Amino acid sequence: MNSIAQHIEYLLMRNDCVVIPQWGAIIAQQEEPRFENGRVTPARRYFTFNAQVDHNDGLIASSLMRRHGITYDQAMREVSAHVAEMRRQVKECGAFPLGRLGAFSLEGKHLVFTPFPSQRALSDSYGLSTIVFKSLAQLEREQQAIAAFTARTEEEKHQQRRNTFVHKSLRWAASIALLVCLGVVLTTHIPIADNVQKASLAFPAITALAPAAVQAEEPVVAAPRFSEGMPDEADGHYILVVATTRNPQEAADFQAVASVKTVTATDGKMNYVYVAQSDDYAALVNAMKRLPAPLRQAYITEAL
C-alpha cells in the first residue's frame, strides 16, 4: 500500500497530473513568489484533486512495472486493490492519508483532498520559508523588552545571592552562640558537701534562641512546554514536522532556538525536526493548531 503512494509522489515530481484509476486525478499547481505587507513568500507548488478525472493514464501502472518487473495486468490488479483499500478506509475511518502528499476525507457524499503543506513539491524553493520584515518600532520594542528582562534577571540573581549570604551568616552566628553556651556550661562550678569546688557537667537551663526569619527563595516555575498533552507514541506512523534542513548542524541550530521540545530524524539526505509522533492522524492535526505562531507552517508526514 505504501509503495503505491511512493510511486504517486515520484510521478508528481515529474508530472503535473497523475490519475488514480477509478478514484480521481491529483493535479500540481505552482504559485509564484510574493512580497506584500512586509512578508516575502517563496514560490511553492501545491496539489489539488479532481474526482471527475478518473480515467487510466497508465502512469502508475508503468511505474509499478519498471520498479517490480511485473506485467501490466499485474500492475493494474495492484492498483485496483489499493483503490479498494482506500475506499474502505475512507468509509470506515473517515480519512485516508496518501503518503507525504495529503489526506482524503468525506464531507457529506463528496471526496475531499487536503494537501499537506510540504516543501518537497518545488525543489527550487526547497527549505525556504516565509520571511517577515520587522519595522523599526517593533525592533525598538523588542530591544526594550530584552533589556528589561535582562535587568530583572540580574536583580533576581542579586537578591538570591544576598539571601544565600544572610542565611549562611545566620547559621554561623547560631553555631558560634552554641559554642559559647557550651563553654559557659562546662566551666561552671557548683558547691558540694565537703565544701570543695568541682567542675560540673550539669547543664543549666538554656533558653533557645528565637529562629531568625529567613526569606524563602521563590521557586522558579518553568514555562509550560508545548509537548505537554501532545501525542508522543515512539512508534507512531506520522510525525508533526516544524523544520526541514540539509544537514544535522542546521537541525541542531534550529533546535537550540526553538520554543518547543523537538526531535530530529533523517532519511540520509535531509533532516526533519518534529515535535510529535502518533498513529492518530487527527490528533496531530489538532496538535498542529496549538503550535506557537513562528511554527505554524509545520506539516504532517509519514515517520521515517
- One domain for residues 27 and 119: yes
Between CA 100 and CA 108, with CA 106 as vertex, the angle to 5 degrees is 160
Domain match, 55 and 109 both: yes
80 shares a domain with 14: yes
Q: Is 210 domain-assigned?
A: no
Parent domain of 294:
227-304
Regarding whether 159 and 123 lie in a shared domain, the answer is no
Looking at the fold, whether 147 and 124 belong to one and the same domain comes out as no
Among residues 78, 113, 131, the one where a domain terminates is 131
Q: Do both 71 and 20 map to the same domain?
A: yes
Cell of 281: 492522524
Nearest to 4 by CA among 15, 20, 17, 16: 20
262 burial (CB, 10 Å; 0-12 / 13-18 / 19+) is: buried
In a domain, 213, yes or no: no
Q: What is the pLDDT along the chain (304 residues), one digit of tens a residue?
A: 446 888 988 898 888 899 999 899 999 888 777 777 777 777 777 888 998 888 888 899 999 999 889 999 999 999 999 999 988 988 888 888 888 888 888 888 888 888 876 545 555 555 566 777 677 777 888 888 998 899 888 888 888 888 888 888 888 888 898 888 877 767 765 554 454 445 444 555 555 555 555 455 544 433 333 444 454 545 688 888 888 888 888 888 888 888 778 888 888 778 888 888 888 888 888 888 888 877 877 888 888 7
| Number of domains observed in the structure of the chain | 3
For 275, the grid coordinates are 515535535
SS3 256: helix
What predicted TM-score, i.e. pTM, was given to this entire model?
0.39
